[in-house]
Amino acid sequence: MPAPLSLRLFIEQYASLPEEDWKKIALLFHPRTVQAGQLLLAEGQICRHLYFLESGLLRYFILKDGSEITKFFTDAPYVFTSQVSFTTQAPAKESIEALEDGTLWEISLADANALLAHASWSTFVRKLIQEVQKYTEEILTELQTTTAEDRYKKMLSSQPQLLNRIPLKHVASYFGIAPQSLSRIRKNMLASRS
Amino acid sequence: MPAPLSLRLFIEQYASLPEEDWKKIALLFHPRTVQAGQLLLAEGQICRHLYFLESGLLRYFILKDGSEITKFFTDAPYVFTSQVSFTTQAPAKESIEALEDGTLWEISLADANALLAHASWSTFVRKLIQEVQKYTEEILTELQTTTAEDRYKKMLSSQPQLLNRIPLKHVASYFGIAPQSLSRIRKNMLASRS
């Protein structure tokens, strides 16, 4: 089964994609399904694939003193991996969990590297990493400059539907606060509206 | 004046560099000196160049309610820019200040893009962005999981010489604490050692 049209459209957002390049790319991605709660990658494992998330929602997290701290969320459609582990084939310092049932398409490191000979794929990969770098820097800047409450309010106004799909405890750990504190913030917001 | 050997050695850490590619690259970088305290880029300006920092030390910062918040430091030798502003030619959301006198080499966006036709430069750029993404994620993870005091102690043991070159107020704003709090942490550390 070749990779879906949604992957082609995703790549074309970043780079122009000749028909012959797409045909090669489509054959190197292989389908896989995940279920809500399933770990795609556990800290310490080596990440062997780059993935296209066709549907579903992911959470990246790390363990710190026995607690899970959420780094960020990845919503479909998007291309993802555990970048350092994938590119160096070293054990991952993070885990990736599916928060919803989903479909993804995986490509091996060798196949992804072979595709770099094509300008379309090479441009796509470069621009995608630039975008991921931009998102990571935005999260970092917000963490350095904004309170958890203000970050929560911003996400509530900019991504309300995404927020609805994520269990409260993970939202709280993403904002670096206790679930009780997040409940208090939400109660205060409701009270000030009524 | 063509770009220095140190740039060639820097690129070769990431990609193999044929002699003819290096000759082209070397001619497209132009020298510039900066003085300690000089702003290389002010928030709101468009970043027109990618730079190789041959010598010196930089600080990236943003303004928040009139205060400067330090995002990170860049030590020579390294290649840097204000990535989003440079690649999209939109006003920068950050400022870049030289903390020391230094020498840098600049290349325009058009010239940097033209070089992407060479596999050596294209590989170099991709791997460099991957590395910057890795560093940014590390800072983010530390901020999400570690106290300012522990982050300061870690930097003190891993990069003591770098720390010595940065004014205390910027170290404090990087760790998200008041200069007085950082002084207290330092005093406590000295007291516990004696």
- Please report, as a single letter, which amino acid is at residue B14: Y
Domain that residue B77 falls in:
5-145
Task: Between B178 and B96, name the one with better pLDDT.
Answer: B96
CA dihedral B58, A132, A62, B134 (to 10 degrees): -40
Query: Which is it for strands A102-108 and A49-55: parallel, antiparallel or unpaired?
Result: antiparallel
Domain match, B150 and B129 both: no
Query: Which band of pLDDT confidence, cut at 50, 70 and 90, is reported for residue B118?
Result: very high
Specify the pLDDT at position B8.
98
Distance (Å) from the alpha carbon of A62 to chain B's nearest alpha carbon:
8
Distance (Å) from the alpha carbon of A134 to chain B's nearest alpha carbon:
7
Q: Give pLDDT tens digits for B142-165.
A: 988 888 999 999 999 999 999 999
Domain match, B108 and B13 both: yes
Domain match, B151 and B135 both: no
Domain match, B102 and B162 both: no
Are B133 and A134 within 8 A, CB to CB?
A: no
CA dist B8 → A58, A98, B117, B128 (Å): 40, 43, 18, 14
Q: Does A114 touch chain B (CB under 8 A)?
A: no
Contacts of A93 in chain B (CB under 8 A): 141
Domain match, B64 and B124 both: yes
Domain match, A105 and A150 both: no
In order, the DSSP letters of B48-70 are: -EEEEEEE-EEEEEEEETTEEEE
Contacts of A176 in chain B (CB under 8 A): 144
Q: Any idea which residue has 């709090």 for tokens?
A: B181
- Shortest CA distance to B78 belongs to which of B11, B32, B130? B11
Q: Give pLDDT tens digits for B22-66.
A: 999 999 999 999 999 999 999 999 999 999 999 999 999 999 888
Which residues share a beta bridge with B105? B31, B52
Among chain B residues, the shortest Cα distance to A133 is held by B133
Within a 10 A sphere around the Cβ of A34, how many other Cβ atoms? Answer: 22
Of B130, B139, B144, the CB nearest to A83: B130
Where does a domain end: A145, A168, A186?
A: A145
Q: What is the pTM of this model?
A: 0.92
Q: List all residues 6 or more positions away from B163 whose beta carbon is below 8 Å from its beta carbon.
A: B155, B156, B171
**DSSP strand E in chain A: where?**
30-34, 39-41, 49-55, 57-64, 67-75, 78-80, 95-98, 102-108
Q: Give pLDDT tens digits for A58-117.
A: 999 999 888 899 999 999 999 999 999 999 999 999 999 999 999 999 999 999 999 999
How many domains are contained in chain B? 2
Of B123, B132, B143, the CB nearest to A143: B143
Q: Tell me, what's the ipTM?
A: 0.90
Are B87 and A133 within 8 A, CB to CB?
A: no
Domain match, B140 and B151 both: no
Domain match, B117 and B169 both: no
Domain match, A121 and A181 both: no
- Please report, as a single letter, which amino acid is at residue B38: Q
Q: List all residues 6 or more positions away from B28 whose beta carbon is below 8 Å from its beta carbon.
A: B3, B107, B108, B111, B112, B115
Q: Does A137 touch chain B (CB under 8 A)?
A: yes
